[in-house]
Chains A and B, each alone.
Chain A
Amino acid sequence: MEQVNSEVRVHLKQKLLKLLKAAPVAGLVLASASLSISTADASLSRVQPRLSIEERVTNVRNQSGPQAHPGQALPGTVLPGTGHESSETLLAWGNWHNWHNGWHNGWHNWHNWHNW
């Protein structure tokens, strides 16, 4: 599969996408370029919320410790860009990105002027 020409792969993928979109295959989507269908993800549309988003946030905050801090409190391998980098690296996004994605990140004081 890895040897397949990327243009051919894109073409095949486009064709399959059209087929899938045209068919009433509820809950099934393509999950990767290898055209695999994730069975875990396939049930997405049918899953009912167990907890509210805020309850879930509270849980992950609690499980990460009271001084939770991106890049420090979490398992180092799970978060993109946080494996071996300092929190300063996470603040590398310019302030104006808060406007462009509308997400003021809520860091206290000095973090606010130079977010992420």
Chain B
Amino acid sequence: MHASPTDPDCGPLDLLVIQPTPFCNIDCSYCYLPDRQSKKQISRDVLEAIFDRVFSSGLVERPFTIVWHAGEPLVLPPRFYEEAIAILARHNRSGFRVEHSFQTNGTLIDEDWCAFVKANDVRIGVSVDGPAFLHDRCRRTRRGQGTHARVVQGMELLRAQQIPFHVITVLTGESLDYPDELYEFYRRYGIKSVGFNVEEIEGPHQHSSLEGSASYERVVRFFDRFFDLAKGEWPLHVREFEGALGAIFGAGEATSLRSHEIVPLAIISVDCEGRFSSFSPELLGLKSEHYGDFEFGRVQTDSFREAAQTAKFRAIRADIDAGVESCRRNCPYFKRCGGGAPVNKYFENGSFNSTETMFCRLSKQAVLDVVVAKLEHATAGDRPPLATSSPL
């Protein structure tokens, strides 16, 4: 069977992750990127090959997003991205809308970067874990110095230039105790949109401070409190709550959601040397005892559609599909989730063909439990107990 752009099981492309460099100028303790000390850079030839492959693949049917990631994107200068955007434009002959996103550690934001963001209408997010006593526990330089002051400086510059940005905060076992302090931090720095990533177990980061059955209730309590804070005098958009609302009200009674991460070639991630993968972007660059690695080809020599026909791709896809089917049969949250994240299944359970993970419990189930309880409260007019449907 040849993958076709109209095949509902393959694509269309929604997200293209490009690694401009694996290097990161800081060294967070929970980072999953294995080569963040490497100073390699993507070449112009690889960029040409990426965009040639993308726009000739038949997978581009609608606007999609490019996220420059898998290393700190701002270690390369703005002129690099100006050139990359120009290369993309030459290959984008049909003029599809392409949105560029940067998620940065915020330490390198300066006037030049602000000018670039404004001129190119790109989205920017800053990774910051709240006040210094939380942030500097994990987000440090290679010499062990905290980075909070530099991140705050970067955010202040964005604010001064009136550049909208969101923040991503990693929730650790420590930070769950401080929802109020986090909220005050966001308010103090004028932050309006927040996403919370739980500290995950992926690749070289093999343990999380959130491991253990007690974390579920702690996360529920965190989000329960934060929900109330976020509708306070400084209203916050919280990605997790808005995602849960989409999951609750977007999926019909007879349908289930479908995660991007389980759709072949809906997400394509390419490293700085042209190697590419699909499904969960974190897979690119990680090793596996079972599969060797998760690389499906190189843009210099292989098309995405050809790669989807290889034995390795099909084996991984079959295992992912089997895991999703197990979720469908066994998980009470399936209709509001769609089958979980393959990378978390693999690195927590040892197989794509598996079901619940810590990531599921803390990022999906806990959030859904809180938001549904809030909705029940809003519609019934009284506060229900935060009954958890979790098997925990």
Contacts and interface: CB of A to CB of B under 8 A. Distances in A.
Contacts, number: 234
A77 to B, nearest CB: 7
Interface in A1-54: 6, 10, 13, 17, 29-34, 40-41, 43-45, 47-54
Given A44-B388, A59-B376, A99-B15, A10 B257 contact: no
Contact of B243 (A17, A49, A50, A116): A116
Given A44-B220, A70-B245, A74-B378, A93 B168 contact: no
A112 B12 CA distance: 11
B383 A102 contact: no
A80 B259 contact: no
B208 interface: no
A96 B250 contact: no
A67 B267 CA distance: 31
Given A41-B224, A93-B195, A80 B231 contact: yes
Contact of A102 (B103, B341, B376): B341
Interface residues of B, number: 92
Contact of B237 (A78, A80, A104): A80
A78 B249 CA distance: 16
B241 interface: yes
Contacts of B246: 70, 103, 105-107, 115-116
Given A32-B180, A75-B378, A101-B197, A57 B372 contact: yes
B362 to A, nearest CB: 11
B230 A95 contact: no
Interface in A40-90: 40-41, 43-45, 47-54, 56-61, 63-64, 68-71, 73-75, 77-81, 83, 89-90
Contacts of B352: none
Contacts of B378: 74-75, 78-79
Interface string B366-391: 00110010111111100101111100
B263 to A, nearest CB: 9
Given A44-B388, A106-B250, A92 B372 contact: no
Interface stretch (B19-27, B57-65, B290-298, B316-324): B57-65
A93 to B, nearest CB: 6
Contacts of A70: 242, 245-246, 249
Given A73-B249, A83-B231, A93-B195, A113 B258 contact: no
B304 interface: no
**Most chain B Cβ neighbours within 10 Å, of A10, A56, A107, A108:** A56
A6 B181 CA distance: 9
Given A47-B386, A77-B231, A97 B338 contact: no
Contacts of B374: 78-79
Contact of A114 (B63, B245, B377): B63
Contacts of A96: 15, 17, 65, 67, 69, 101, 103
B156 interface: no
A60 B101 contact: no
B14 interface: yes
A93 B386 contact: no
B238 A80 contact: yes
B389 A95 contact: no
Contacts of B15: 95-96, 98-99
A78 to B, nearest CB: 4
Interface of B: 14-15, 17, 62-65, 67, 69, 99, 101, 103, 123, 125, 133, 166, 168, 177-181, 184, 193, 195-197, 217-218, 220-221, 224-225, 227, 230-231, 235-251, 253, 255, 257-261, 267, 280-281, 332-333, 335-338, 340-341, 344, 359, 363-365, 368-369, 372, 374-380, 383, 385-389
The 10 closest A-B pairs by CB, nearest first: A105-B246, A33-B180, A80-B230, A106-B250, A95-B65, A106-B257, A103-B243, A70-B245, A102-B341, A53-B389
Given A58-B253, A96-B67, A100-B168, 7 more contacts: A31-B221, A47-B387, A48-B387, A59-B376, A79-B231, A93-B239, A98-B15
Interface of A: 6, 10, 13, 17, 29-34, 40-41, 43-45, 47-54, 56-61, 63-64, 68-71, 73-75, 77-81, 83, 89-90, 92-108, 111-116
30 contacts: A6-B181, A29-B218, A33-B179, A41-B221, A44-B385, A44-B386, A47-B388, A53-B365, A53-B368, A54-B336, A56-B376, A60-B248, A61-B249, A71-B245, A78-B377, A78-B378, A95-B15, A95-B65, A96-B65, A96-B101, A97-B195, A97-B243, A101-B195, A101-B239, A102-B344, A103-B243, A103-B364, A107-B250, A115-B243, A116-B242
